[in-house]
Chain A
Amino acid sequence: MYRHEGEDVFVIDSHIHLWDASEENIVHEGGEQFIQCFYDYHTAFTPEEHQWDLETYRKYGSEKMVEDLFRDGYVDMGIFQPTYLTDFYEDGFNTTDQNAELATEYPERFILNGQFDPRDGEEGLEELERMKEEYGIQGVKLYTAEWRGDSKGWRLDSPEAFEYLEKCKELGITNIHPHKGPTIRPLNRDAFDVADVDDAATSFPELNFIVEHVGLPRLDDFCFIAAQEPNVYGGLAVAAPFAQNRPRKFGEIMGELLFWLGEDRVLFGSDYALWEPDWLVPTVMNAELTQEQRDEFGVALTTDVKKKIMGENAARLYDIDIEERKETLQNDAISERFDLGEGAVAD
């Protein structure tokens, strides 16, 4: 729990990973390039005193993750967003089954999301059923630019993808998190275009589309689509660390998001381990719009708005009663272990 100006802020980190990019796990040069690229993002936006060395970054393990999120990072709950990349990594970069180990150990703390890839055909649909049955997943993370043999990506508005979305609807997997982020090679340039979200969101009004990384560097396209589609949300992973070293730009991005989507459709995510919540949560909570930005966008980034962004919006999508959950978490294994119970709130 984070305390801000005397108020409790329930933090749901909506974008976390437990990855393995160790050299032993890399089977394709893309795997090495991928982690190097992540590391550039890490060092570019992390305050120097909080930067990790590359070896730790490659594989930090579940113990460190639990400490970084819950003991040091003010996080109350975290949502696993798997990224398979099985063409690049022997056992995958971070898969649902791997994440499930921690999620099963601390079921009150983690939300486990699955994934699908329409190129997997019938087998993939069965896998989706298995993940629902075995783990009760409520969401999926989609990496539309993932390499698979000769294919360099897929589109969310393809008939094959629609078949999967139909399946999600049927199974009650309502939260669809497409990654639409920075243009990076070795992933395909076109596969991060946000245009395909538009048609999918219109065709599946009963599903929520949480566009991760708010489409950056296609924020304008994303906002325009989101303004028309009430079931489109924005995940702040990658945009959030701007609050640290580019606060003015962060203000502009938040201004756009609040202007086009409103305060109920933006979700905080640290993108752990790209960035750690221990410095990111306070930085975002302390961020303010300039007077000029408040006038320009006609919006305000108040404590109430921030509380929605930090947890309440995700709680709504994932059916979490925050007050009830607070009670449960007070005495759970994590609270006991790190002495986080009542009266021991870090701030």
Chain B
Amino acid sequence: MSQSVSSGERAVLDRLDRVTDPELDRSIVELDYIDELRVDSSVFVQFKLPTAWCSPAFAWMMATDIREEVQEVSDVDRVTVKLVDHMHAAEITRGVNEERPFEAVFEDATEGVEAARAMLDSKARLARQYHAVNTLLDAGLEPTQIVALTRNDIAFDDAAERAAISVADGLTIYAPLAPLAEYVEKARETGVLSAPDERLFVTADGEPIAPEAFDRVHHRTRAAKTNMAGQGAVCDALHNARYGESE
């Protein structure tokens, strides 16, 4: 997908960029999963995964996310998603385009994909929390200050690419935008930041962090990050073994 793209394709790719591999929390565009894209009044998206044995549940999540994101692009009448080179390519392609539920397509599945998705989203949130908290530690905040922060205490300045954090009356500290904005986005999606006065950072179970538990929680979020990066390396190596090095 490295050829020059039309404006229609660009709009679709921008939406596709929001679709993540749920296990790796990285964009499927960046991961080079998009194999073919045709855009006119209808859109055709073909994608492939690092192995034919990727969990069908994960493949299903990506396929449905692709369909839903592309449907958001204006002037798109119809979206067709096709998964290739996967042992369940046919079932997933048919099921997703017919908008059937996962458990209706896979009869031996004991449940839908939502529980697995929630678990992966929660891990993605933890990994992002690790980066966000490190950003604040680097900016000079103390653990006691970090655990006390609420959503209200942080403001994003997109133009300046920085975040402003109100630490105490009249004291504001600035930090790089991306790790904090990405964290807040995932925290919102996973429901741990539904109200503006809620604590910004919470434990794996969504509880506030006691100052004395800061290190332990931080180590746990680090493990989530390490796991995700490790699995990313496995997928990347398998992808290269299967399709050759990407550009």
Contact = CB atoms under 8 A, between A and B. Distances in A.
Q: Are A and B a genuine interacting pair, yes or no?
A: yes
Interface of A: 33, 36-37, 40-41, 43-45, 150, 152, 182-186, 189-190, 216-220, 223-224, 239, 242, 245-246, 249, 252-253, 255-256, 259-260, 296
Given A45-B237, A220-B123, A189 B226 contact: no
Interface of B: 23, 51-58, 87-88, 108, 110, 116, 123, 126, 219-220, 222-224, 226-227, 229-231, 233-234, 237-238, 240-242
12 contacts: A40-B241, A185-B56, A185-B87, A216-B227, A216-B230, A216-B231, A217-B230, A218-B227, A224-B223, A246-B233, A256-B223, A256-B226
Contacts of B110: 190
Contacts of A183: 23, 53-55, 58
Contacts of B116: 189
Contact of B226 (A33, A219, A224, A246): A219
Contacts of A186: 53, 87
A219 B222 CA distance: 11
B125 to A, nearest CB: 13
The prevalent SS among residues of A at the interface is helix
A249 B53 contact: no
B227 A219 contact: yes
Given A40-B51, A41-B238, A44-B238, A220 B220 contact: yes
A47 to B, nearest CB: 12
A347 to B, nearest CB: 29
Contacts of A246: 233, 237
Contacts of B88: 185
Contacts of B58: 183
Contact of A189 (B52, B56, B234): B56
Contacts of A40: 51, 238, 241-242
Given A186-B87, A242-B230, A220 B56 contact: no
A44 B223 CA distance: 24
B237 A33 contact: no
A223 B223 contact: yes
Contact of A217 (B51, B234, B240): B234
B219 A259 contact: yes
B233 A185 contact: no
Nearest to A190: B110
B227 A260 contact: no
Given A44-B240, A253-B230, A217 B23 contact: yes
Given A220-B226, A252-B229, 14 more contacts: A33-B53, A37-B53, A40-B242, A41-B238, A43-B241, A44-B237, A183-B58, A189-B55, A189-B57, A218-B227, A252-B226, A255-B226, A256-B223, A256-B226
A311 B51 CA distance: 33
Contact of A260 (B223, B229, B240): B223
A185 B226 CA distance: 24
Nearest to A30: B87
Contact of A220 (B108, B224, B233, B240): B224
